Structure 1
Amino acid sequence: MLPSSLLGQVLLSIALALFAAQAFNAVLLYRGMIERQQNASANALAFRLLAPERRGSELELPPELREPRRGPGMRGRGLRLERSESDPVRAADVRLPAIEARLRDILRLQGYAPAQIAVVRRAIDDDPRALRFFTARARRQGEDIPDTLVLAAVRNDAAGDWRIARVAEGPRTGRRAIGGIVFQTLVLTLVLFGVLWLVLRRITRPLAALTARTRSFAAAPREAELLAPSGPDDVRELIEAHNALEARIVALLDEKDVMLGAIGHDLKTPLAALRVRIEGVEDKTRRTKMAAGIAELDRMLDDILSLARIGRPQDEPEMLDLAPLATGVVEEYEDRGRPVTLVDADKAVGRFRATWVRRALRNLVDNALRYGGAARVSLRREGDNAVLIVSDDGPGIPAERIAAMMEPFRRGEKSRNRATGGSGLGLTLSRAIAEQHGGTLCLANRDGGGLDAVLRLPL
């Protein structure tokens, strides 16, 4: 569910940080508004409770207790002070301890310390006196009738009368403020996302091109052109370093190919001379052994030269159906009396180098015959891939050695006998041929015994 790209993760991190900061800001703003409303209500209630005691004009009160005509905690001049012998607080009223504490402090600072004090919130419909007053005022001034009011009741002693003051509770501005914060957050998010997207694209676009270039270089080191540096300086330096690395790798591959080719070519001449000289050996047994050794060296040199030429293909890929090719390879072995069978062969047409694919398939069949005694070949089409499978009933390969068997001169048979162990280049050649075509070679042990060599080539 989370983005995996650099661009997505950075944008998500910025969004989460922005939302967290704005949420904290909204909480502080909301608490500040609530406190201001509570202070305004407490000041208005204190004014009504203290005004009769002052016996003077409103100007005699401290500035913070002078009743405003409009404010967040009240709506203009309101109801006069009321006296009552019974407790005015009802069961449906909501106690407001914060305003109560604030009102108690204000009254104490003004030298008035009642024995009992209660502050509650009450619906206008539950207070007939307030409802009549605000209904009349609404008709005169065209104002809306408030939904709730704040009522404060105090008395000087336990047996005295209650003095009741009422103020209309101001509109709940907290929700509007939170809505403003949400809108502000959305605007900031869009602006930041737009700017960051433009900035990050300057980084991610060259990185995406570098990724594509690396993949193409892995498939064909000598064919793709170097990537032009672009983006910020750090990314440009990375691309330049990658280009230098590619150049070094290509140079090493060229040196390897030249070295292998030179070794194979230079050894062919003395081997040919040795093949002529052994004809003069009178002992037939010795002559046969010497000829077999020379032939084995010749086959190994052919494998080395083939491995070198795979990196430098001379022939171009051509449109080819792999079904006739697999059938032809199997028939070659059948003509020699070898136990190789074709299980099935689906039509699979693509651009291949026929010589190399045929060589890879032969190497896999030879391995199956060497270690399993028989080989079964099948060709299936799976989506956009042709899958050649060579199966045997041999002992298989230990799982920990499968990867190592793909390396040059690794043999499944421990002895030095070439007849039973081969040269150790067959699987390496087959894998190189598969990779040259953009495919893969995998070895897998079957549960019932035996090994499957799976050559997968893209069509």
Structure 2
Amino acid sequence: MKPPGFFHLNGIGGQIAALVLASTVALHLVVTTAFLIGRPDRQETPPDGAHQLTDAAQLLGAAEASERPRLVADLARAFPRLGIEMLAPGTAAVETSDSPHLREMRRHLPPGFKAVQLAPDGNARRVGIEFPDGTVIAARGDGGPRPMFWGAPWLMALMTAFICVTVLGLWAARTLTRPLSSFAKAAENFSLDRTSEPLPERGPEEIRQVARALNRMQERIARLMADRTRMLAAISHDLRTPITRLRLRAEFIEDEGNRRRMLIDLDQMRSMLESVLSLLRNDRKIEALTLVDIASTLQLIADQFGDMGHVVRYDGPASATAAARPDDLHRGVTNLVENAVRFGAEVTIRLVVSGTTLVIDVEDDGPGISDARKQEMLEPFVRGDDARTMDESTGFGLGLSIARAIAITHGGELSLHDREPHGLIVRMRLPIWQEPRLAA
């Protein structure tokens, strides 16, 4: 018969219940032990130094009266916790008492000696032995001051309860927060190229179930994305042949205008297929990080567009080194500049290095983008507003989304800002040395 979930020791509830039960048993054991040692039910507790006091009384009784002060001083040094002292006859305030420990002391005393209870000295109990001549030696009844506060059973019980509750809290906090931290780290490092390690399936049963579910979910997502990429690759491969045949047949169209428009449409179809595959190609290995001269890369991009007849200039330091993926970074900035030269006459690539962060701004003097659509423009397949309508030279709304994905894989971000008096600023903010996050 399977025990209920609450009492299952493999679960969090069962482990907490077992720990609470063990703490309660330990608390009762400590309280019982303290009770048996302290025995508050007994009226008197035999003093620890009773036998030393009776031995001292016998020694002093056998010595001469003139030797007793010296012997008392020696005994006081030998047993400092007893506090032995000699009292003159008739000076001791004797209390009536017949406690068990006094009767025990009387059994060991010679005839003529009496064990008596003396008046307390402050908080310390005092016992004495009266000699036949009336002289009394006094000592502390418990061999020294008893730490009533720290030795009290209630305080021991309180400290034990505090320790048990503390151990329970620390265990529960570690058991619950450590798996949650590993879940957050695994979600942050999740990668479709399957380079991230699966979650360890250990701990209480509930934690293991969550870990297994997350691992299965990651496998399903990776398998789904791989199937999607293979499907799109197959579609692209199958469409290239009919597109090529259509281009060949379009060459036989006698009408120049219709032939030109048909060729433009076919070129756009081919470019769209290549762009979609470029965006969804997740089965490739992520490019390794290396030290890159960002300034030289940006200057190279500006020169390349300048060679194509565009007005693109670089504004920034002559050299700026950072850890990056060179091909991905080149591709991302190239996409931004392609968008900029499509809608603006002049483009500026600006680099600013500040502390541990570098900022790449691609500025154009085009119509810009309205504030309401800036965030939307970063999504795939979203083209510009009315000021940036699609024509034969327009892309398919993938440039910004690809550049944003590249910025995220570097541990940075991409944002859109207005340029004065008109135009758009696409800002890519990247860390210089920070460990990047894996691409999802």
Answer whether TM exceeds 0.5 for this pair: yes
Residue 209 of structure 1 pairs with residue 182 of structure 2: yes
> What is the aligned partner in structure 2 of residue 197 from structure 1?
170
* 1: CA distance, partners of 2:246 / 2:359: 43
TM-superposed CA distance for 1:342, in Å, is 0.8
CA distance, structure 1, for counterparts of residue 376 and residue 172 of structure 2? 45
Q: 8 Å contact 2:289–2:323 — kept in the other structure? A: no
Counterpart position of 2:61 = none
Per the alignment, residue 246 of structure 2 pairs with 274
Q: Shift of residue 344 of structure 1? A: 0.8
Matches within 5 A, 1:395-406: 395-406=367-378
C-alpha contact (below 8 Å) 1:409/1:425 kept by paired residues:
yes
**Cα-to-partner distance string for 1:363-415 (whole Å, 9 max, x where unaligned):** 11122223343321122334444432212334433333222212221111348
Asked whether the equivalents of residues 379 and 388 of structure 1 are also in contact (C-alpha less than 8 Å), the reply is: yes
Distance in 2 separating the partners of 1:189 and 1:389: 59
| Pair 431,143 (structure 1): closer, same or farther in 2 beyond 3 Å | same
Query: How far apart in 2 are the matches of 1:180 and 1:312?
Result: 70
Summarize deviations over 1:258-306 as a string: whole Å, max 9, x none: 1222222322222223333333333333333222222222222221121
Q: Corresponding residue for 2:130?
A: none
User: Structure 1: 5+ residue runs without aligned partners?
Assistant: 1-136, 146-175
* Paired residue type of 1:199: A
CA contact (8 A) 2:192 2:222 kept: no
Distance 1:269 1:356, change over 3 A: farther
| Residue 219 (structure 2) aligns with | 247
Please report how far the alpha carbon of residue 143 of structure 1 lies from its aligned counterpart in structure 2 after TM superposition: 4.6
The TM-score normalised by the length of structure 2 is 0.58
**Distance in 1, Cα, partners of 2:290 & 2:255:** 50
> Aligned residue for 2:102?
none
Question: What residue is the counterpart of 1:432 in the other structure?
Answer: 405
- Residue 190 of structure 1 and its aligned partner are, at CA, apart by 4.2
- Confirm or deny: 8 A CA contact 1:220 1:436 kept in the other structure: no
Residue 142 of structure 1, CA deviation:
6.3
Q: Which amino acid aligns with 1:261?
A: A
Match of 2:21 in 1: none
The structural deviation recorded for 1:433 is: 2.6
1:418 partner SS: coil
2:363, 2:425 within 8 Å by CA — same for their partners in 1? yes
Equivalent residues in 2 for 1:168-179 (5 A)? none
Contact 2:186/2:199 (CA < 8 Å) preserved in 1?
Answer: yes
Cα distance in 2 for partners of 1:266, 1:386 equals 43
Separation in 2 of the partners of 1:273 and 1:325? Answer: 39
Q: Deviations over 1:153-180 (max 9, x none)?
A: xxxxxxxxxxxxxxxxxxxxxxx79x99
Q: What is residue 349 of structure 1 aligned with on the other side?
A: 322
Alpha carbons of 1:302 and 1:363: their partners in 2 closer, same or farther (altered >3 Å)? same
- Deviation (angstroms), 1:204: 1.9
Paired with 2:231 and 2:389, the residues of 1 have a C-alpha distance of: 25
Aligned residue in 1 for 2:75: none
Q: What is aligned with 1:294? A: 266
Specify the code of the residue in structure 1 equivalent to 2:342.
Answer: R
* Conserved 8 A contact 1:321-1:349: yes
Unmatched runs of 5 consecutive residues or more in structure 2 = 1-92, 94-117, 124-148, 434-440
Q: 1:405 to 1:269 in 2, by over 3 A?
A: same
- Residue pair 1:310, 1:436 contacting (<8 A) in 2 also: no
- Superposed displacement of residue 227, structure 1: 1.1
Q: Which position in structure 1 is the counterpart of 2:278?
A: 306
Tell me, yes or no, if the aligned pair for 1:344 and 1:379 is still in contact at 8 Å: yes
Question: Structure 1 counterpart of 2:272, which letter?
Answer: M
Distance (whole Å) between structure 2 residues aligned to residue 416 and residue 308 of structure 1:
25
Coordinate RMSD, CA, aligned:
4.1
**Structure 2 counterpart of 1:349, one-letter code:** A
| 1:128-168 deviations in Å (ceiling 9; x for gaps) | xxxxxxxxx9xx956559xxxxxxxxxxxxxxxxxxxxxxx
Deviation at 1:362, TM superposition (A): 1.4
2:416 matched residue in structure 1: 443
| Aligned-residue identity in percent | 32
- In the superposition, relative to structure 1, how do residues 367 and 189 fare at CA in structure 2: closer, same or farther (>3 Å)? farther
Residue of structure 2 in register with 1:337 after alignment? 309
- Give yes or no for contact 1:389–1:454 (8 Å, CA) kept in 2: yes
Inter-partner Cα distance in structure 1 for 2:210 and 2:420? 47
- On the 8 A contact 2:226/2:282 being kept in 1, the answer is no
Match of 1:227 in 2: 199
Give distance in 1, aligned partners of 2:155 and 2:392. Answer: 79
Residue 407 of structure 1 is matched in structure 2 by 379
Q: 1:432 to 1:344 in 2, by over 3 A?
A: same
Number of the residue aligned with 1:455: 428
Change (3 A) 1:387 1:416: closer
**Secondary structure, in 3 states, of the residue corresponding to 2:196?**
coil
Q: Name the SS of the counterpart of 2:360 in structure 1.
A: strand
Q: C-alpha separation between the residues in 2 aligned to 1:290 and 1:183? A: 93
Give the Cα–Cα distance (whole angstroms) in 2 for the partners of residues 380 and 185 of structure 1: 62
Report if aligned partners of 2:383, 2:389 keep a CA contact under 8 Å in 1: no
Quote the residue 1:112 is aligned against. none
Query: What one-letter code is carried by the residue in structure 2 that aligns with 1:427?
Result: L
Change (3 A) 1:183 1:376: farther
User: Pick from 390, 398, 417: which aligns with 2:390?
Assistant: 417
Return 391-400 or 294-303, whichever deviates more. 391-400
| TM-aligned CA distance change 1:195 to 1:395, over 3 Å | same
Q: 1:207 to 1:366 in 2, by over 3 A?
A: same
Following superposition, the deviation at residue 246 of structure 1 comes to: 0.9
Q: CA deviation at 1:446?
A: 5.0
Mapping 1:51-90, distance limit 5 Å: none
Please give the per-residue CA displacement for 1:206-239, whole angstroms capped at 9, x wherever unaligned.
221111111100x555211211211111111111
Shift of 1:184: 7.0
- Indicate the SS of the match to 2:231: helix
| Distance (Å, rounded) in 2 between the aligned partners of 1:184 and 1:371 | 79
C-alpha contact (below 8 Å) 2:291/2:321 kept by paired residues: no
Query: Are residues 434 and 220 of structure 1, via their aligned partners in 2, closer, same or farther at CA, if it must alter by over 3 Å?
Result: farther
Q: Does 1:362 align with 2:334?
A: yes
What secondary structure, in the 3-state scheme, does the structure 2 residue paired with 1:280 have?
coil
